[in-house]
Structure 1
């Protein structure tokens, strides 16, 4: 491996960045927040699913001579992948000090912010849309926000702020005027005019959008992209290396030398694997600029799409193809198009590539089952030559003989045209239409003998039911030659359930429900094919019964429409009287510009340490040893804190700060690691070695707790009268149980605490996002064994809570304060999105018994 590193050059908000020692493992979110100190881009889920860290990335294509802008989740963008790119964060869009952008102004004035944590991401999604489409349609606005989550505002005012940029009206357009019948100048009655209005903002107050005033793409990056003498770039980190080849032969040489190295283009598969599964890759190869991976070739038999194309670009390619080709030839392409509209969010669709999505073969993929059903193939290449791999069941099931060899690279994907008597469909069921994994999905294809309903070929593939996409190949074989009728459907349902078995302990649970959904999707496909056959030959093939027609229709993804009516404020009401006026959130503009500071946004000081936790992996066990030697030897680590380091109470009000001799649940804090960076702290935490002796029984359900008489607190009763006597002498007794499963809190801002030890009297200042600061003060006081008046708990704002920040911040605050107290240094402690479940309600079981003196039923 090379020992030196090339310079990484890119632009952020119009300013050139030259990074002489880029870290391949560092993502853009960490870089802009911790290195450039641009804290408007927020950290929330860390996995590309919430949109809080959305930024705009701009690149120049030397072949088309065009600049294209796309939204991306910064938490998944490796900083090394940005060589030659321009990044725009919310600070680059506008600020209070400089000038706020119309997007920021309208989001605030349309009342689209509440806690404000998601607002910068919302701004960036709308802003990127406007850079590409200055006059967007309402549907484009809705689609652009599909990858952004908000937990408190409710989306409507956010979408409405975006609609103000659309020339199309989404109101009722009474009399063709483009206005709403509820507007005062178009109102229905005099009394209505005086009392009601339909908006909480005045569009006349908005500054206009002027696309000519947007920042230009840096000319230096255009020159870099068109440089004919490009060379391979290498970025060397502490333990990893990032290599960017410039030719296809260069890529194949690298893959032959490092066959296990992942190809990183969008990083939507490799990135989550590193974060959530602790995967480590010493070498990354990034072939972003290779033209051979960007081809689009339309032939008589189908279309070939380069592996480098993003899913968003693939959507545009397929859309153009379906307009050019006869409908009967593009059934596979139409099925793919439908799912490309809802797959993930716009950010992920613009980052994820076709080749990466196909080769990674996720079990939840919506596209791979359709590609397999449509008989697609993957074109792969290595130093040994090219070959085609059928994208079929064996490939998706990861059988070695059907997979890529380690030294091979996916070059493109060929999607053939469908036959005249072939029908292809993709189906999915999820908890919401956009930005959600399917509970069950499927790709199905059937080909008939010409002019008949006799099955010539049949393919059915299902996702989200096993560790891989699975093919019902045996079922399909047994159905070939059968007629497409109700008896075939009945047999198919039985065969599929026999072939595809979901184990009882399957990830995601809901086993019986998912088995039902498999049959539901098969039934829907059967009806779709019946309808298609009747359209092909109405005389020969009767239509489906009327009672089943509704099952054919997919729920449309439409821009929400509606009318809001508010009592209008008397125009003669004095300005100093605010009652009834739609007043903008006091921090609304700061939310939209990213200038509203949350705990993790506070300026860092020199020698500030980062804290991470080491938690129990056992439900109930005795701790026999804790070996921290390897963790202490890790670079950047200052200390490992355990229960022995707590100066005061380690158990306050039944809450154990650090487990000492015994753990009573998975996830209980055993020790914490303080280091100079989060990366060092987390890596060192993996090196803490804890041994256990399991204690039986491990009680993990309420029923088990009742059986073993295991109660965590004393019994609390509210009694009136003689209960035992009442139950003995009533006419009827109704008994039952209510069981409520656990519920995870979902707030955008993760649990974050900054502890600052003071120089006098063991005083401590904590900055924390909490709903109960007094509780934090109490626990910290107990842990440090100091009076409460020496603990200051400050809470300026929090990015959502919903009950999840009532009690747990006290425990986390005590843990953080102990580390800060012992080390006499500032400590920042942030629980990742994956670990935020430490603060979730547990299951509840309620046993009910009601006595009735008499029972009367009335109908």
Structure 2
């Protein structure tokens, strides 16, 4: 069997017996142990698996480097290639400038996505050592981050561009240097930047690892190769003759196999025969001739675009480059081929291909190898019409380079960038006859009538275009024809992302450690690939789980037949509900749970949602386990289902009792009778996926005597411990749960993580082998819960000024198929629904609704974002009624320091009023609003809007979950070991605790370490969440330090502060050098009732947004966020939390949709590509954050700090939504539509287009 030769990070590798289905990601992670290459989606969407491939260009006599998705690249494709992973870029001992600037520049939080960003930037610098801002933006446009909000990543990478020169561009008045603007009273006493990159070591490209000489001197064989895998035989011909001789009888003919790897291969496919054109010389040729450009079919999409853009006339070439840049990710464009793109689209009746329409409009001629072995040249249109893709093979495409016309291309998807195409349009004009095509699915349609019209007429009216094109009237066609008309009239629209301008203001501290913007101690580990997440932990003789999921929304399970799966070599067994030795619903038994959870580990005789886990297959590797799981046959008896939220509401399908808070109906109705006006309205809010980059992951290792060690990506180690113990029918002391770090959590890794751990524990005990449970992104989306969607009604009584005198809310929350956190989220939404307002007599009725869909759970904000959006709707409705600005109505109704909330609690330590006033002035809100009004008066299509929002978030939370636990021990060498009950998931908790400990002990941070969160060190700790963990765990750390110091201080004083000597003397004197303490807020000590929060984190923000009413796309122009977080424990971490929360809130109300097929019950956003989270291109063009530090004199606060994680999200979603509605309302008013629009979220592009319809 032939082998392949390549180099990884400077080491030559020879591999025989390469399975054609083996991916590069699997190989480098599992064979080479290079775990820095992460698996976040396995679809080529998130960028976490990005590596760099280097190849030698003989024509240019230099190495060329490409960023690719290792999860989609078959290993055999890296023959004679230089593979560079994040470990090869740099290490903690010799860190690369990219890694250094990202680590010290606070450009990572959970760190899971960070190696992917490093590799995308690394590929750019290897090819362009002095990149432009546009090149940097393009390089990382397909890398996703859920934590940071992207700003610090962009800032770190912009520092490599000579266009920056160390400047942040933070002068708010038109950009430029922030130091060139005159300082204001508001900014006095604040630091304006977290750090400057001017003092960082300069990037020196000569210090990079060289291209391996062995790859250049490797003797290339001209012989055809054949690879035999477990179920695939792959032929690799080297020339056209060999290809002709070998292609007969092949199931798959492919150039890149991207499509094959993207789609789920049929598990029943055995003995497949594939052939690849990847190494066929003729298929890889590029020829630039006098009158044409010929591009081989195995050429990548990126090289295809580069070739055309540099060899066709400028006005054509530039448009091609721009169009293809938005085709897909750079990683895919760098590996997938243009021919694969058009063949995949041609085979689909619904796919809309950007490459296919481009070849049509450019009148490309295809050279096709027919079934009989002859070469024939056909027009692009004929290739699809005659279905030559079914029997023929494309050899090359030929393009005329004599066309001096102008090219227009338009792509429309759900979002403006890196999205699948719903509709596209392309036209080549200037040289008659013009060519115009529209993409509607499958083969693009030629608009000959429109071609004739534009060649003979000078009128570019929309009605004329519709008549000539005969297109169906809809948002897509209207947008395309309007944009095309603007193009013909030489009108341009600025679509460039450009540079992000950023400023972060904070007050410097006098403390030595606490309060300083110190880079996270663990950043270098993550940025170099050293940091291990659960799926990175090695385990000998382990099995992996494949999940058998329900395909019906409600059905009885009559039979499960797993016999076919067990026939596969390497499958260890099938496991389901009958294998659970203890309780299959452990959530009903857990102590200290406010609300019991009836979720089952495995379905028991019945399924109630598509995606519910019926059982698992255990196998020797994860690919085999997943394939075997698809072979399991489940026999169902379908039952009536309630997938649709409205139908479930109408059926009064509830998960628990209806919850009532506030006044009785009589009192509220009396308020209405006294009010000047009574208004009614409704609000619809969609759900939201957590989209943590690390999917749910557990590794359970069985020990002796029923002991289990559980490595779990969980936010609650003690909770998971109790769940596993209950499921396994063993005492909790036999279960140790360990968590080093999470690759993001956001509330989604409490209950959800524990179910996966329980499944792994069941199998581990049965097989007595370690068990990995690592969800694919599609399985994670299908199985786990999301944010609760809400439908709410309100009835509000106001006086003549718009002040609220009484309000009645009714809210229905979509809970999904089991209870999970639904009763808790309903409660929080209800008891905190007044938010920042005084509302007179208030009543809230909450209904947790049961539907046959994912069981929804905790997500950042836990009911507060929903109440925020409901109140935004109320305020907008009042403002319309009393003819005032929304901000004026909000301010009129604010509850402030000393007021009481509707549930009776007093507002303590609160700076809401100060934040609002400060943000109003700092953002120049009124001035900008006037400028926006002037802009909108003259702009018919593009509208701008501005809005302010605020937040109040009481902390720490009352009740048993409002405490922390810490353990501190001092080693004989004086080093300190700290353990806490909270888990690190990107929020910087561990770093903050290090700084607290360092400040309390007056020891350098380097002398202290914080170990894994583990139940054998800290037990009975509450789940990490709710923004309070720096408070609760910080108080526990302080208590430990105080107790230790009380023992040590006499000895330290005696030794004149010499720490190491004092520790040795203390040990010799039998002084205990370890302790464990609780962190509990003594509320009565500070005059606070036990049911109240001792302080409030407050803030205000102003958001300016631009909306294109044709496409529905929006762009955030400017954001000013002001927050009182007391005296921040670490301003860099807190500002990072604010920026990340802003982008997550932005996604909630714009691009992130959760919908279910009402018939099948399937989640429609069931892949990484279908669910859209914000990208780096969505970052506000001007992004300013200021930490005020107003209220900090409260002993309940750790070094006068306040919690931060969730509050900014509420400000974000409120302000963004209202700013977009400002744009929509202005457009509607300008077009004579005065009807009030009730609040609906998300405001996706199609929803905005619908609202801006003139109908």
TM, length-normalised to structure 1:
0.84
CA distance in 2, matches of 1:687, 1:490: 54
* 8 Å CA contact retained: 1:370, 1:425: no
* Aligned counterpart for 2:9 among listed residues 13, 22, 38: 13
| Superposed CA offset, 1:60-115 (max 9, x none) | 2445543221111100110111121121111111212x422222111111111111
Give the structure 1 partner of residue 204 of structure 2.
210
- SS of residue in 2 equivalent to 1:564: strand
Q: Distance in 2 between matches of 1:519 and 1:851?
A: 39
- Matches of 1:191 and 1:480 in 2, distance apart? 59
Matching residue within 548, 552, 574 for 1:614: 548
Q: Which residue of 1 aligns with 2:516?
A: 581
What aligned pairs does 1:96-107 form with structure 2 within 5 A after superposition?
96=92, 98-107=93-102
| Offset, 1:36 | 1.1
Cα separation, 2, equivalents of 1:677 and 1:476 = 56
Cα 1:284/1:62, change in 2 over 3 Å: farther
Deviation at 1:645, TM superposition (A): 0.9
Provide, for residues 336-360 of structure 1, a one-character-per-residue CA deviation record: whole Å limited to 9, x for no partner: 1221233222212211222222332
How far, CA to CA, are the matches of 2:453 and 2:191 in structure 1? 62
Determine if the alignment matches structure 1 residue 319 to structure 2 residue 337. Answer: no
CA distance in 2, matches of 1:689, 1:427: 45
After superposition, the Cα gap between the structure-2 partners of 1:374 and 1:759, relative to the gap in structure 1 and judged at 3 Å, is same
Of residues 700, 707, 710, the one that matches 1:755 is 700
The whole-number CA distance in structure 2 between the counterparts of 1:71 and 1:618 is: 40
Q: 2:558 aligns with which of 624, 628, 632?
A: 624
Q: Does 2:434 correspond to 1:436? A: no
1:652-685 Cα shifts (integer Å, max 9, x gaps):
4311111121111111111111111112212211
| CA-CA distance at 1:418 after TM superposition | 6.7
Check conservation: 1:742, 1:843, Cα contact below 8 A. yes
Q: Write out aligned runs for 1:704-853 (5 A).
A: 704-723=647-666, 726=669, 730=673, 734-760=679-705, 762-837=706-781, 838-841=783-786, 844-850=789-795, 852=797
Higher mean Cα deviation, 213-222 or 735-744? 735-744
**Aligned pair in 2 of structure 1 residues 165, 719: CA closer, same or farther (>3 Å)?**
closer
Q: Structure 1 residues 563 and 636, CA, compared in 2 at 3 Å: closer, same or farther?
A: closer
Aligned to 2:624: 680
Counterpart-to-counterpart distance in 2, 1:640 and 1:218: 47
Aligned with 1:262: secondary structure?
strand
Residue 234 of structure 1, aligned match among 226, 231, 235? 226
Partner residue in 1 for 2:356: 368
Please give the per-residue CA displacement for 1:411-466, whole angstroms capped at 9, x wherever unaligned: 2112234756x5531012345544222343222345676xxxxxx5552212xx54
Query: Within 1, Cα distance between the matches of 2:212 and 2:231?
Result: 32
1:207-243 C-alpha deviation (Å, 9 max, x unpaired): 343333322222222122x54x531122111110222
Structure 1 residues 52, 819: CA separation in 2 closer, same or farther (over 3 Å shift)? Answer: same
- Would you say 1:263 and 2:206 are equivalent positions? no
Q: Is the 8 A contact 1:262 1:283 kept in 2?
A: no
Q: Where does residue 249 of structure 1 map in the other structure?
A: 241
Determine if the alignment matches structure 1 residue 285 to structure 2 residue 275. yes
Q: Distance in 2 between matches of 1:195 and 1:499?
A: 61
Q: Which moved more, 1:42-51 or 1:243-252?
A: 243-252
1:122 CA displacement: 1.2
What is the rounded CA distance, in whole Å, between the counterparts of 1:844 and 1:208 in structure 2? 49
Instruction: Say which is worse superposed, 789-798 or 49-58, in terms of deviation.
Output: 789-798
**8 A contact 1:816–1:827 mirrored in 2:** yes
CA offsets 1:685-709 (integer angstroms, 9 cap, x no match) = 12211111111x2110222223333
- What is the rounded CA distance, in whole Å, between the counterparts of 2:243 and 2:406 in structure 1? 39
CA RMSD of aligned residues (A): 3.2
2:164 partner SS: coil
The Cα shift of 1:829 comes to 0.2
Q: CA 1:375/1:586 → structure 2, altered by over 3 Å: closer, same or farther?
A: same
| Aligned counterpart, 1:504 | none
CA contact (8 A) 2:366 2:378 kept: yes
Structure 1, residues 439-496: CA drift from partner, whole Å, max 9, x if none?
43222345676xxxxxx5552212xx54x25415476589588634256x31543676
Match of 2:374 in 1: 385
Q: Which residue is 1:345 aligned to?
A: 329
- 8 Å contact from structure 1 (residues 54, 125) kept in 2: yes
Are 2:156 and 1:222 equivalent residues in the alignment?
no
Q: Which aligned pairs between 1:114-129 and structure 2 lie closer than 5 A?
A: 114-129=109-124
**2:577 aligned residue (620, 633, 643):** 643
Deviation at 1:316, TM superposition (A): 2.6
Range 366-375 or range 640-649, more displaced: 366-375
Three-state SS of the structure 2 residue aligned to 1:656 is: coil
Post-superposition offset of 1:315: 3.0
Task: Name the SS for the 2:252 alignment partner.
Answer: coil
Cα distance, 1:567 vs structure 2: 5.0
Counterpart CA distance in 1 for 2:100 and 2:530 is 13
Give the superposition deviation at 1:783. Answer: 1.2
Q: Per-residue CA shift, 1:134-192, capped at 9, x if unaligned?
A: 222232222221221111112222122223333332638999xxx97545xx8967999
Question: Is structure 2 residue 396 aligned with structure 1 residue 412?
Answer: yes
- The separation in 2 between residues aligned to 1:569 and 1:289, in whole angstroms, is 60
* Contact in 1 for aligned 2:362/2:399 (Cα 8 Å): yes
Distance 2:558 2:184 in 1: 81
1:90–1:120 contact (8 Å) kept in structure 2:
yes
Unaligned runs of at least 5 residues, structure 1: 450-455, 502-514, 532-548
**Structure 1 CA distance, aligned partners of 2:241 and 2:155?**
51
Compared CA separation, residues 232 and 734, structure 1 to 2 (3 A): same
Q: Would you say 1:425 and 2:408 are equivalent positions?
A: yes
Separation in 2 of the partners of 1:774 and 1:784? Answer: 15
Give 1:52's match in structure 2, choosing from 43, 48, 51.
48
Q: Check conservation: 1:820, 1:827, Cα contact below 8 A.
A: yes
Q: What is residue 665 of structure 1 aligned with on the other side?
A: 609
d(CA) in 1 for partners of 2:494, 2:266: 34
CA contact (8 A) 2:301 2:338 kept: yes
TM-score, with normalisation over the residues of structure 2? Answer: 0.59
Q: Say which is worse superposed, 55-64 or 478-487, in terms of deviation.
A: 478-487
Contact 2:356 2:444 in 1 (8 A): no
Specify the SS of the correspondent of 2:757: helix
Cα offset, 1:786, TM superposition: 2.2
Aligned to 1:403: 388
Alignment check: 8 A CA contact 1:748 1:799 kept: yes
Assess, with a 3 A threshold, how the Cα gap between structure 1 residues 374 and 674 changes in structure 2: closer, same or farther.
same
Q: Deviations over 1:195-218 (max 9, x none)?
A: 455543354653343333322222
Name the SS of the counterpart of 1:460 in structure 2: strand
Is the alpha carbon distance of 1:409 and 1:639 closer, same or farther for their aligned partners in structure 2, counting shifts above 3 Å?
Answer: same
1:78-117 to 2 correspondences below 5 Å: 78-96=74-92, 98-117=93-112
Q: Matched residue of 2:258: which SS? A: coil
Q: Equivalent residue for 1:168? A: 163
Conserved 8 A contact 1:460-1:476: no
Distance 1:723 1:518 in 2: 53
Structure 1: distance between partners of 2:794 and 2:508: 52
